[in-house]
Structure 1
Amino acid sequence: MIFKLENSINQPIKLPNNKVELYMKREDVIHPFVSGNKYRKLKYNLLEAKKGNYDRLLTFGGAFSNHIAAVAAAGKGFGLKTIGVIRGEELADKVVGNATLSYAEANGMRFKFVSRETYRKKTSPEFLEALKEEYGAFYKVPEGGTNTLAVKGCEEILTQEDANFDYICTAVGTGGTIAGLINCLKPSQQVLGFPALKGDFLKEDISKFANKSNWKLITDYHFGGYAKINEALVVFINKFKQDYGVALDPVYTGKMLFGIFDLIEKGYFSEGSKILAIHTGGLQGIEGMNAVLKKKNLPIII
């Protein structure tokens, strides 16, 4: 264990329809700064960086990236320097007004702002070599954190007490979390993934890491794509917090819960089903999303 963790609890979500049971695994409470799937993804990568005698991590992300914030906090806590390659040159003079970037900077992260065109080349050998010349040797953590070691960490989300659930539901970004969940499933269980991005292209990425076939992507609840949101989702997130005392992030977990509630209403789950929804954290992104909502004169997340 890298940091002292709080226990993840399975919180019952009382539904007006008693035909199914819904619980939420509160991975958002396991650590105050590196919560949810970000801790799981980073755990073995941090250990590998230390094992390789690296003194710095380098990773990639956007203006409101949960991953950027988590890497900065984890690096600081683990005694490693951190470098964030940030998509968007125009953000270089906007750090102070950006909750995510200012948080990462306060935790010691140095930034390299690049154009979107350059950012698309982030995995090219030439770009990585130029980064090594600029910053020296570093341990590279991919955008979103997904690699083999991240999947290994996500395999630790489920415990023995979760074996009695029929469905495990998770939001999907880069596919690492769902792959880890799939790998530790019981034969009688199914994972439902709710992508935050448009399209069905994630199947191939997930299949690179997942070793079972009892999973499915539910692609109807992305709300237009990554970080896209509308008033209906804001209303749902606020009502969920009011009813159950649980904050949901608008990019991932909020969309997943919206989808689960809609599927329950439509009778997707057979009567008596037990559903476990994974809360993957990401709450730091609410402040940045609220700034966007205010500009659009939409209700904000409370």
Structure 2
Amino acid sequence: MPRGYARSVAGINDFAVRVPSPLVELRDETLDRCGIRLYIKRDDLIHPDIPGNKWRKLKYNIAAAKEQNATSLLTFGGAYSNHIRATAAVGHYFDFRTIGIIRGEEHLPLNPSLDYAASMGMRLSYLDRASYRNKTSPEVLNELRDTFGEFYLIPEGGSNELALAGCKELPHEIGINFDVICCACGTGGTLAGIAAGLKPGQRALGFSALKGGDFLRNDIASLQRRAFGGDTGNWSIECEFHMGGYARRNHELDDFIDSFERSHKLRLDWIYVAKMMYGIFSLVEMGRFSRGSTLVAVVTG
């Protein structure tokens, strides 16, 4: 637990979340044939409105905002951002005013993600893509404060040092021996935090949901240096399973989602989790994991 937040976290822990989240073995003919055991960590079941890595990333940020007596949370995201949805829900449940700064132009009617955020009381505002690229500059942040007043700033995707502290706790909930833990990546915060919580000999593997996600390697290393003082060196990222880019899909991914649901009675989120799971099965069939390996896949939402 980050220092200085014990009192606030104690109150937050009274919130009804399912932690530890369930760990379930996935039995599949492909896995059996390749000699791989795969467990899924059902972080999507932590809470219906603040699921998975969103709760882990936001928990200590909620505590910090309360310690600072903040009344407003402001954050950034794309039009389909699960982080925007979750931050809106945090505002609803923990009595914060929330502002979501959305990349690009407004499109009406709102898509389901933004409609949900608005229904939770979030005020939506839009930044053109050029301004959005400079969203963390002092000039843009000062303009936002002039418009909305003072706020506690949560970065895009929720990925900051406090988020990493929350994600670092995940491996300690897993009561089996495993070799590799996998997660989907948008900003890289979940992967950075999970890797810091691993035992010697274990590795973390991320799957970028973004086209051209190679830049995440530098971002993840930078996040770890700020949070933990150095790069843990026990992680890597796959950038070839984005299926066209963020919030894009193709028939191959759709067919995989349908097949997975028929076999395992679980419908995968197509923006992040399905791309990770497709990547895992592809790498298994390519022989990228040693026979006898045990994998854990985090279902973040």
* TM-score, normalised relative to structure 1: 0.89
CA contact (8 A) 1:2 1:78 kept: no
Cα offset, 1:2, TM superposition? 5.7
CA contact (8 A) 2:179 2:294 kept: yes
Structure 2 residue corresponding to 1:130, chosen from 143, 146, 158 = 143
Structure 1 residue corresponding to 2:90, chosen from 51, 74, 80 = 74
CA contact (8 A) 1:163 1:186 kept: no
Matching residue of 1:237: 257
Structure 2: how far apart are the matches of 1:163 and 1:201?
32
Structure 1 residue corresponding to 2:62, chosen from 46, 64, 72 = 46
Structure 1: how far apart are the matches of 2:183 and 2:140?
33
Cα offset, 1:27, TM superposition? 0.2
Structure 2: how far apart are the matches of 1:58 and 1:105?
14
* TM-score, normalised relative to structure 2: 0.89
Matching residue of 1:159: 172
Matching residue of 1:217: 237
Cα offset, 1:160, TM superposition? 4.9
Residue type at the aligned position of 1:32: P
1:135-186 deviations in Å (ceiling 9; x for gaps) = 1110011111100001111112222534511110111110100011110111
Structure 2: how far apart are the matches of 1:165 and 1:202?
25
SS at 1:31's partner residue?
Answer: coil
Matching residue of 2:5: none
Identical pairs, percent: 49
- The change in CA–CA distance for 1:79 and 1:276 in structure 2 (over 3 A counts) is same
Structure 2 residue corresponding to 1:108, chosen from 121, 134, 137 = 121
Matching residue of 1:22: 38
- The change in CA–CA distance for 1:89 and 1:225 in structure 2 (over 3 A counts) is closer
CA contact (8 A) 1:2 1:43 kept: no
Instruction: Give yes or no for the alignment of 1:3 onto 2:23.
Output: no
CA contact (8 A) 2:100 2:123 kept: yes
Structure 2: how far apart are the matches of 1:12 and 1:269?
17
Matching residue of 1:204: 218
Matching residue of 1:291: none
Matching residue of 1:284: none
Matching residue of 2:228: none
Cα offset, 1:245, TM superposition? 1.5
Matching residue of 2:296: 276
Residue type at the aligned position of 2:78: G
Matching residue of 2:282: 262
When structure 1 is superposed on structure 2, of 47-56 and 115-124 the one drifting more is 115-124
CA contact (8 A) 2:100 2:124 kept: yes
Structure 2: how far apart are the matches of 1:245 and 1:30?
18
Cα offset, 1:114, TM superposition? 2.2
Matching residue of 2:193: 180
Cα offset, 1:236, TM superposition? 0.4
Cα offset, 1:222, TM superposition? 1.2
Q: Structure 2: 5+ residue runs without aligned partners?
A: 1-12, 225-230
SS at 1:89's partner residue?
Answer: coil
Structure 2: how far apart are the matches of 1:83 and 1:160?
33
When structure 1 is superposed on structure 2, of 21-30 and 57-66 the one drifting more is 57-66
Residue type at the aligned position of 2:279: G
Q: Structure 1: 5+ residue runs without aligned partners?
A: 282-302
Structure 2: how far apart are the matches of 1:273 and 1:224?
30
RMSD: 1.3
